[in-house]
Amino acid sequence: MATNGFHPRGVYAASVTPFKPDESLDLDRLGPHVDFMIDAGIKGVMVIGGCGEYANLTPDERRAVVTEAVKVVDGRVPVVVGALAPSTREVIDIGEHAAGTGAQALLVLPPYYIKPSFDGVLQHFETVVKETGMDVIAYNIPGRTGTNLLIEHLREIADIPGIVALKECERDVAAISLKIAALEDKLPVLSGDDDLGFATLLSGARGAIWASANITPKLCVDLYDACVAGNVSEALRLHNRLNAIFATWMLPNHPGPLKQAMTLLGRTAGPARSPLQPMTQHQFANLEAALKADGAVA
């Protein structure tokens, strides 16, 4: 299990990376945004992941965001750093910087595009943990990587000291449930897809890393709490609320639509960086209607 005693539980926010209108970094907005999410009860912040536009940041920008995030969080909750490179060496570089800032863990996925064998995937995780000394949350997101980590793979990954959890974004709820049952305490599962959170948590997931926490963190926390308490009717009510909003912004060009939702709610984080595009007028109208129906905006 953990090398540093890190055991993620509860709702972690997959934070956006704020930009100015010209798409340059706007680190001054990160602190107020982090404060907003922590005040709502989230248990951790994950930066420069997919929602944080990892692929659209330069190495220097990634380091700047991580340094600022750890500074503004100031020990209130754990900070997880997205280390989403396909190169083991690049992930180690990110991890070494994260370790130096005081971040708690890395989010690491199977290398994409280069398509290594599973032995290569396993070596990737082993080497990152060994060389960085960081705890690692493994990340299964087959829609992005082209690799689906199955139960037999995850059992081997779980044997690596320092792999502390799995962020699961497989879209098959039955498969997720089987993974949770098979892995049990050996590799705790975290819900990675907001719209599947209700089913994943009720199947025994230990926590969540959700993008929705950028706009409705209290709703996310309440949903988690209701699931953990076994209050299924309340959890379902909250799930339906969350899903009605989620469906209007989880669209192509993510996290662009999410950032537009933040702007509607008065917490501007700027645009998504090119080549990501703004929502169409029709999409924006649907988003605005969903937020108004929920009472999030007047």
Which active-site residues does the annotation give?
139, 167
Closest CA to 46 of 167, 157, 194: 167
CB 176 within 8 A of CB 200: yes
Closest CA to 247 of 235, 261, 232: 261
From the DSSP assignment, how many helices (H) and strands (E) are in the chain?
Answer: 12, 8
Residues with Cβ within 8 Å of residue 263, at least 6 apart in sequence: 269
CA 69 from chain centre, in angstroms, equals 15
For the chain, the residue count is 298
- Residue linked to tokens 């081997």: 156
Question: What would the two tokens of residue 139 be?
Answer: 């990340």
First and final CA of the chain: distance in angstroms? 47
CB 139 within 8 A of CB 192: yes
- Residue linked to tokens 């000291």: 161
SS (H, E, C) 83-102: CCCCCHHHHHHHHHHHHHHC
- Residue 168: which H helix or E strand, with range? strand 163-168
CB 163 within 8 A of CB 157: yes
Q: What separation in angstroms does the CA of 123 have from each of 89, 128, 130, 268?
A: 12, 8, 10, 40
